[in-house]
């Protein structure tokens, strides 16, 4: 019995010591001027935005952002000077998320991202325009294709050739796991329906209906002058052009 009480006493002492040590560490941290400065950046925290589900369609949400004060302090202490670039933020997923609604059709990106995406077929002769002007673009491919600067690839092959292109994308780490509603699409993909399709005779209609979150498919019949008007309109709305994978992602840009 005496040995039992001794063990209990030792356990109590160790537990109390850990408690006291933790309290001292918290007090020391709270009086650290660097830690106090870090805490002021909590003002940059943002709440998550839930995905919008309507019948068979979904608009992706956006993760929230929360300052990790302890990791930020460790980063700054390691560097021996304060810089905002050393602050660490954790992303907080939405309660209603795209990941829980993979059976739905994505009809646009979240409007709060202030962005749009452009989609182009791989055999479109205007591809070089986007490369030369440093504009991100998503390319629909149906054969082996080497992406150029600011391009990402989306498998657009028919059912007979789909697995071959999928293997090519996987082997080269190119796969976005996105497919367009007008093509063959396996169940494990993010199914996207373009918001607008630009042709050679509807530039006025398309440019007047662009909004934040728009997904614009550029048909091969679209002309260079149509693209110029489209880009000007997007710029006038102060919207960024991003790859489709970035637009529909719930991660913070």
Same domain, 98 and 126: no
Same domain, 224 and 127: yes
**Which domain-ending residue is among 85, 102, 119?**
102
- Judge whether residue 10 has pLDDT over 50: no
Same domain, 160 and 204: yes
Same domain, 65 and 156: no
Structurally, how many domains does the chain consist of? 3
Same domain, 7 and 46: no
Does residue 253 form part of some domain? Answer: no
What are phi and psi for residue 161, nearest 5 degrees? -115, 0
Going by the DSSP 8-state scheme, the letter that residue 37 receives in this structure is: H
Q: Mean pLDDT, to the nearest integer, of 74-86?
A: 85
Does residue 92 form part of some domain? Answer: yes
Domain interval for residue 47: 33-102
The CATH number covering residue 167 comes to 3.20.20.370
Same domain, 84 and 123: no
Task: Indicate yes or no: pTM above 0.85.
Answer: no
pLDDT tens string 38-58: 889 999 999 999 999 999 999
DSSP letters, 140-197, are EESS-----TTEEEEE---HHHHHHHHHHHHHTT-B--EEETTS---TTSEEE--SEE
């Amino acid at each position: 019995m005496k040995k039992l009480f001794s063990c209990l006493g030792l356990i109590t002492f160790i537990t109390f010591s850990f408690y006291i040590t933790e309290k001292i560490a918290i007090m020391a941290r709270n009086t650290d001027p660097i830690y106090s400065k870090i805490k002021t950046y909590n003002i940059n925290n943002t709440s998550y935005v839930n995905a919008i589900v309507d019948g068979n369609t979904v608009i992706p949400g956006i993760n929230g952002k929360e300052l990790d004060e302890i990791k930020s302090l460790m980063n700054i202490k390691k560097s021996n000077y304060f810089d905002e670039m050393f602050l660490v933020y954790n992303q907080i997923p939405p309660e209603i998320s795209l990941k829980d609604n993979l059976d739905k059709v994505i009809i646009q990106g979240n409007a709060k991202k202030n962005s749009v995406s452009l989609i182009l077929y791989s055999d479109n002769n205007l591809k070089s325009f986007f490369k030369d002007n440093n504009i991100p673009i998503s390319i629909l491919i149906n054969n082996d294709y080497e992406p150029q600067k600011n391009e990402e690839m989306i498998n657009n092959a028919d059912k007979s050739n789909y697995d071959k292109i999928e293997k090519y994308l996987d082997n080269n780490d190119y796969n976005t796991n996105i497919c367009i509603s007008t093509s063959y699409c396996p169940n494990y993909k993010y199914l996207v329906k373009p918001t607008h399709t630009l042709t050679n005779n509807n530039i006025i209609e398309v440019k007047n209906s662009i909004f934040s979150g728009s997904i614009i498919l550029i048909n091969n019949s679209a002309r260079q002058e149509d693209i110029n008007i489209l880009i000007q309109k997007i710029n006038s709305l102060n919207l960024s052009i991003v790859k489709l994978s970035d637009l529909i992602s719930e991660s913070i840009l």
